Amino acid sequence: MLLEAVFHRPTMPWAYACDENTIHLRLRTKRDDVKRAFAVAGDKYAWDQTRQTLPMTKRFSDALFDYWQVAVRPPFRRLRYGFMLRSGRETVWYGENGFSREPLADAHGLFEYPFLHPGDVFRPPEWAKEVVFYQIFPDRFANGDPSNDPPGTEPWGGRPTPRSVFGGDLAGIIDRLDYLAELGVNALYLTPIFEAPSNHKYDTKDYRKIDPHFGDAETLRRLVAACHERGIRVVLDAVFNHCGAEFAPFVDVLEKGRDSAYAGWFHVREWPPAVRDGIPTYDTFAFVPTMPKLNTEHPKVRDYLLGVAEYWIETADIDGWRLDVADEVDHRFWRDFRKTVKRAKPDAYIVGEIWHDASPWLQGDQFDAVMNYPFADAVLDFFAKERIDAKQFADAIGSLLARYPDPVTEVAFNLLGSHDTPRLLTMCGGDKRRMKLAVLFQLTFPGAPCIYYGDEIGMTGGGDPDCRRCMIWDADRQDRDLFAHYRTLIALRRANSALRTGDFRFLRARPGDRRLVYERKDENAHFVIFLNAGRRAANVSAAVPEGRWTDVWTGEAVEATGRRLTLRLPAYGFRMLKRDTP
């Protein structure tokens, strides 16, 4: 065994409270090196009486490592533990003090989880495990009230520019809720709707006022109430890293300089605030002068923004917040933000915009989830851009699954495109078959999938602002076959817990190959998905349990009688088999 590859620490995600009675232990070993792994665990005050040896399961693998996991239920909520590793005739014990060839004689030198406190359990909202999100860019979704159109509103459907406006509003979303219900989504994420001069509204002028071109607070209340009647949750966008140049405190700073009562609300490096050689003398978002960065460590800024977070929950009964540029705001602020939001609505969903490893924000004291761009990167590289083979894809997904505790994975905000990226169909080179496979994987993977408005009807577009085109409402111009693909997958996901929170495992993912097989299963059902992401028809085989399976797409019965099941799939084809668990 390569002991240098073995790793564990008694912290997330290697040791964590899964629920009030259960601790998950995770161990890393070199890939295909260790044949069996066990956790040796017991109570530190009654080691001899409580010690037990528990087999671990190889849950994930990436290019270099295997990740083993076991659930332990300590009888007295205290846990001291080590690991026993076996490969062939070799057995090694591993604890906090290192490795030993001798069996563990006592609890000395082992890892410790001192006490399982209920308050330490990561508790995202249960409903976040059940939803399929739909992201809406309000100005481009639907115009329900032409009377509030801003000056210069362009005809619906024109090619967007950075400054163009098309009149979409909250009333338009209300008008189209039947469409969203038909699609099957049960949660909305709206990009910013508060007063701001731009079309995207990420340069906030007034955090307590709905932009008049979108409606008013009463319109938002009607939207949320109508959504709730249909079982649809509503999450709004919080832009707390920065404001807009028309935000009253910043205007006051520009007018009065150091003498402004709001001088401490911003990070001014050189007075007076100005732009010199293209660089602002104050901190901003991405050097954009009209987006000055807020000083969230300033007590009055903190109180103001936390008040905003609470205000819209109480005023409109929204169900959560998406946090813009979340990684550039201090952790202390987000800890206070979580307390404020959860006090106002205990099951509110908090999702941060973070494009990289977000472990520091997902310890249970800040966010429930983040926008899972690493997931999107892996899916797009395999299905859309065809840059990697099946093994590289499975390795990337395995690495991602090993990065976070299971409760985090179950509510991760899994997107394939957004207002910040090119459209999914465009990234697939216009090939709807590739797009269907990507969507199939997204909607059968653990987490909370999110659909960017219009993807489900085949809308295209490059990077911002082209990805922000107006929603197509002419049925003759909508791809209804693609819509049916989304609707069927959403219905299957919502009807089967195995596709939401069941175990996930790759059954086939080989180097140099574009055929893939994976399974989702729980106590209710067992799914196996066969994919051919190649450009030619091919046989795809994998080991599956014997018995009668049903193709959920066609209703056809498939009998697995041998050690392996082989299916013939067309180029970019798939079969989705289900076996009900007795």
User: Which stretches does DSSP call E strand in 118-232?
Assistant: 133-136, 187-190, 194-195, 206-210
- Active-site residues, by number, are 324, 353
Residues 61-81: b if buried by 16+ CB within 10 A, e if exposed: bbeebbbbbbbbebeebbbbb
Angle (nearest 5°) at CA 181 between 421 and 124 = 65
Q: How far is CA 571 from CA 135, 426, 434, in A?
A: 31, 19, 10
| CA-based nearest residue to 302, from 348, 336, 326 | 336
| CA-based nearest residue to 178, from 215, 232, 221 | 232
- Following DSSP, what letter does each residue of 302-367 receive, concatenated? HHHHHHHHHHHHHHH---EEEETTGGGS-HHHHHHHHHHHHHH-TT-EEEE--SS--GGG-SSSS-
Per DSSP, the three-state class of 394 is helix
d(CA 304, CA 152): 33
**What tokens were used for 406?**
């299971």
Q: Are 401 and 60 in contact (CB under 8 A)?
A: yes
406 φ, ψ (degrees, to nearest 5)? -55, -45
How many C-beta neighbours within 10 Å does residue 181 have?
14
d(CA 210, CA 535): 49
